[in-house]
Amino acid sequence: MSPPPLDTPLTLAQDAEGTWLLSSAIAPIARGTPAKLDLEVPAPPQYVQAVWASQHYPGFREHAFPDCFVCGPHRRRGDGLRIFPGMLESGIVAAPWLPPDSLDAGDGKVAAEFLWAALDCPGYFAVSGGRRLMLLGEMQGHVDRRVHVGESCTVIGWKIGVAGRSTRRARRSSTRTASSARGRGHCGSSRRPGRSRAAAGRSLWVVGRKAAAL
């Protein structure tokens, strides 16, 4: 697989076994296969705790990609997701998220691809704290329900485990993390909103030779 090129047409095709392949004219970019997500999700913190954690988001001080669509602090309201996860004493990173109207799929709900995006960066901050450059190598996710735009959500991320080893030559190592997004129910509901899981995912983050040497 190769890094996705910018301003370049890409093709998406499915083979007979149900695997999707995203490619440029030069090389394959990404591959997706159907899979069942088996993930134990911890209880999310209270919304006020997520707000407190977000106020201590390390990306506010230093960020390798400040224009990141998901967690970039340079993104203005309505442009990007603006999910800023901070660490809690439990070892979970958490952030509040209020999906803007720009994410509307046309039915008043957030498009599924943006829910997948919301599961991305929290996993990175759960393992790196923003101090080490890591690359997303693999992601498995499931959308339980699409939240409404303007619905108060809590996004969390936590570390699962580490594989690989580091040597003087800084060999490649990887870390698995997971993320989950929960919503509070539709804002216009007359019933008291509860919190139900909207989406969850498991990710594999890779540290390259140069990053591991830092």
CATH at residue 100: 3.10.129.10
Check whether 8 has a pLDDT greater than 50. yes
pTM, whole model, 2 decimals?
0.82
37 in any annotated domain:
no
Which is nearest to 184 in space by CA: 141, 145, 142, 140?
Answer: 145
51 and 125 both lie in a single domain: yes
Contact 65, 120 (CB under 8 A): no
26 and 67 both lie in a single domain: no
9 in any annotated domain:
yes
Check whether 143 has a pLDDT greater than 60. yes
Check whether 165 has a pLDDT greater than 70. no
What domain range is 176 assigned to?
A: 43-212
Check whether 210 has a pLDDT greater than 60. no
Mean per-residue pLDDT, 80-105 = 95
Token pair in block for residue 30: 């990404």
Count of domains for the chain: 2
89 and 156 both lie in a single domain: yes
pLDDT number for residue 151: 93
38 in any annotated domain:
no
Residue 179, Cβ density class (10 Å: 0-12 exposed, 13-18 middle, ≥19 buried): buried
pLDDT number for residue 43: 87
Query: Among the residues of 99-168, which ranges form H helices?
Result: 112-118, 121-128
24 and 95 both lie in a single domain: no
